Structure 1
């Protein structure tokens, strides 16, 4: 806890003064560039990863970067999405998974979360991910590759779930919103983006134009 308190003191003493004018303008409101949906995992820092400043990124964090289908949960996820799209008018939504995701590992090994009823219940919103991996990639036995594939497939499943939200569907229909699927490999700093034309995740630097990530399963390995 002391590290957190010391960090606050350093922020107020050093960093705030450097950008005081920026922080003062934030009183007038926010106009973020995108809604960034990612995992609660402490190893991913959306603002640092994207090099964005306060006010530029609207962030939603959930276990396994899960987006429950509209109406299945009356909670903060749907409210956050609706506000970002309908009020803040974000033009892009990114769902970003990450390497070595504990939620996806739990999805693949239900016994490991048997004593975590809340986690187990929440991961039911990724049941389609589990079924896709189990039924379509049963030949993939390497644990690390299987987890990586699960992370990727889950991003696509959650993009499909995101489309069930009325505000999202309407904005896409008007041509005012694009969806993007990313996977961040935190041990190398690489980010992979889903390319619907090739139905695979490619290094972000190889994708030059924004891509509306259409939901498809990955090609067989």
Structure 2
């Protein structure tokens, strides 16, 4: 805890003054560039990896970057998504999975979460991911490759869940919103973007946000 307190004081002494004008303008409201949906994992820092400042990302974090289908739960996920799209008018939503995801490990190995009923229940929103991996990739037995494949498939499944949210579906149909699937390998710093034409997660290109939305059927993929 002391490290956190020391960090607050360091921020106030050394960093806040440098960006004081920025923080003062944030009082007038926020205009984020995108809604960034990612995992709660402490090894992932959305602002750090995208080099964005306060006010530039609207962030939603859940175990396994899960997006429950609309109406499936009465929680904050749907409200966050709706506010980002309807009130803040974000133009892009990114669902970002990551390497070595504990939630996806639990999905593949239920015994790991047997004594965590809340986690087990929440991972039911990734049941499609588990079925896809079990039924379509039975030949892939190497644990590391199986896990990264699960991470990839889960990003695509959660994007499909995202499309069930009325605000998202309406904005996508108007051409005002694009959806993006990313996988971040924190041990190398690489970010992979799903290319629907190639059916693969490919290294993120500089012009990725100009690409078409993920609004068509997802072909099979292979682990990065």
Q: TM-score range by the shorter chain?
A: over 0.9
Q: Using the alignment, how far apart are the partners of 1:207 and 1:171 within structure 2?
A: 21
**Alignment of 1:218 onto 2:217:** no
Q: Using the alignment, how far apart are the partners of 1:100 and 1:207 within structure 2?
A: 27
1:84-137 C-alpha deviation (Å, 9 max, x unpaired) = 000000000000000000000000001110100000000000000000000000
- Structure-to-structure mapping, 1:83-102, within 5 angstroms: 83-102=83-102
Partner of 2:80: 80
Partner of 1:203: 203
Q: Using the alignment, how far apart are the partners of 1:211 and 1:50 within structure 2?
A: 20
1:146-205 C-alpha deviation (Å, 9 max, x unpaired) = 000000000000000000000000000111000000000000000000000011100002
Q: What is the DSSP-based 3-state SS (H/G/I as helix, E as strand, rest coil) of the residue aligned with 2:112?
A: helix
1:39-82 C-alpha deviation (Å, 9 max, x unpaired) = 00000100000000000000000000000000011110000000
Q: Using the alignment, how far apart are the partners of 2:220 and 2:207 within structure 1?
A: 17
Q: Using the alignment, how far apart are the partners of 1:176 and 1:77 within structure 2?
A: 21
Partner of 1:70: 70
* TM-fit CA distance, 1:211: 3.5
* TM-fit CA distance, 1:213: 1.9
Runs of 4+ aligned residues of structure 1 deviating over 6 Å after TM superposition are: none
Q: Given the two structures, how large is their TM-score scaled by the length of structure 1?
A: 0.97
Q: What is the DSSP-based 3-state SS (H/G/I as helix, E as strand, rest coil) of the residue aligned with 1:131?
A: helix
Q: Using the alignment, how far apart are the partners of 2:82 and 2:105 within structure 1?
A: 29
Q: Using the alignment, how far apart are the partners of 1:195 and 1:141 within structure 2?
A: 25
Is 2:149–2:222's contact at 8 Å kept on the other side of the alignment? no
Q: Using the alignment, how far apart are the partners of 2:152 and 2:12 within structure 1?
A: 39
Q: What is the DSSP-based 3-state SS (H/G/I as helix, E as strand, rest coil) of the residue aligned with 1:55?
A: coil
Q: CA RMSD in A?
A: 1.2
